[in-house]
Amino acid sequence: MPTPSPGYAITVRCDAPSSATATSGLVAAVSSAGGAVTALDVVESHADRLVVDVTCDASDAGHADTIRQALADVPGVAVRKVSDRTFLLHLGGKLSVTPKVPMKHRDDLSRAYTPGVARVCLAIAEHPEDVRRLTIKRNTVAVVTDGSAVLGLGNIGAAAALPVMEGKAALFKQFADVDAWPVCLDTQDTEKIIEIVKALAPVYGGINLEDIAAPRCFEIERRLQEELDIPVFHDDQHGTAIVVLAALTNALRVVGKKMADIRVVVSGVGAAGHAIIELLQAEGVNQIVACDRKGAVHRGREGMDPDRQWIADHTNAQDETGSLAEVLAGADVFIGVSGPNLLTGDDIATMAKDAIVFALANPDPEVDPVAAGEHAAVVATGRSDYPNQINNVLCFPGVFRGALDARARSITEGMKMAAARAIAAIVGDDELREEYIIPSVFNRDVADAVAAAVASSAQAEGTASAGDELGFAAADAERLRS
């Protein structure tokens, strides 16, 4: 049975006999059903009965039902109701708008709104560059999706994607104090998405594309970056690639290998796989073989779309053919961004000595981490219940914080590599080991380090804009102060 997770936490309110063993019987029932009790609260006490809230983690929705039934089967116990704690957290959404300025009396209103706001509007009309300083634009990111590739759920549409985008926006604020807002578009037409995002861009300092299916995501990101003067970043591609590069940098430190010497097999040639390949090559990895459902991608294969053709032209110099398991033999590194249960422990055993395995499919990885660990030196997954979690939260808050602070017009390969190096450097030599190659997502130093590295890279490359000096508005404000 999969490990119980807070993502399937429930609270079961039970009537139980008033006895010294009542609560212990409830705990035993949950444990026997494979649940993990996290809290036990007696909310009412009567002469003949107790009302007890049992909070526990389950492994999935069906397991939660099994736990409820196990509690109901305890002699003398009646289940009143079951609350899904994940759904409770989402009631009413996870975001709100909070004013930064007071509006308690007429003077406040006259400055924040009419008539005073008109003067600020005219100042921006005369000096459009002042919009970053005088509005929310300087610290605001749009989290844009069309709902076509949401998590592992597939094409579920714009409305169903909103809870994920809300969560993304909350993470921006929590980890980097970036004000992000979900923009879920009810269209999957490439040209319409580009048109809409361009029309919305005046409000935002950056665009985070999210959960847009390949290959459309490549065209949308490319066109928007060409046509806008603010950074556009598809996190599913580049966020994943940055954190993978950071983790691989440290994993190679553990096993004593170098980027230029390793042979890497990548499973999955969609958005994430494509970006991982590009970033690894930029960092000096020369030997990469990519695989899709048909096996190794190579130049002699027919019927490839332009994106697969690019991969064929830029990887697999030896034109290897065969299945994923076949080309994996002898590889130093496996990176999976594809689907569940594609490999076995025996397949990992064919890899080179001190192999590195990143099995990142969620929730079920390409190979069982325990089986992989019997043969590989370092194993990482996308899950929080195993060591070495590869999680984009390590990346995107700091990347946008740095880009916004530098007023960057784009996010370059150099900025991505700087971000990866900053993440890797958080793990010191005294901490580095097989089970700890990447910092925790709750390490508060990560976002600051990434932001500083990204901003510095932007300035060094000349992709940053001029500072926040005001034109007319600054002179006017100074005159008023004097």
Active site residue ranges? 113, 168
The C-alpha atoms of residue 389 and residue 443 are separated, in whole angstroms, by 13
Nearest to 241 by CA among 221, 213, 212, 270: 270
Q: What residues have CB less than 8 Å from 293, skipping those under 6 apart?
A: none
Q: What residues have CB less than 8 Å from 234, skipping those under 6 apart?
A: 208, 209, 210, 212, 217, 220, 221, 271, 275
Range 366-374 contact pairs with CB under 8 angstroms and sequence separation of 24 or more: 366/267, 366/334, 366/336, 366/338, 366/339, 366/340, 366/341, 366/342, 367/334, 367/336, 367/341, 367/342, 367/343, 368/341, 368/344, 371/344, 371/345, 372/343, 372/345, 372/348, 374/345, 374/348, 374/349
Nearest to 316 by CA among 378, 269, 360: 269
Q: Are strands 179-184 and 140-145 parallel, antiparallel or unpaired?
A: parallel
Inter-CA distances, 220 with 137, 189, 192, 235, Å: 22, 10, 10, 13
- Name the phi and psi angles at 9, rounded to 5: -75, 140
SS3 341: coil
List the beta strands (DSSP E) in 153-298: 179-184, 206-209, 232-234, 263-267, 287-292, 295-296
The C-alpha atoms of residue 279 and residue 245 are separated, in whole angstroms, by 7
**CB-based burial of residue 111 (10 Å sphere; 0-12 exposed, 13-18 middle, 19+ buried)?**
middle
Q: CB-hemisphere CA count at 13 Å for 157?
A: 3
The C-alpha atoms of residue 291 and residue 268 are separated, in whole angstroms, by 6
SS3 417: helix
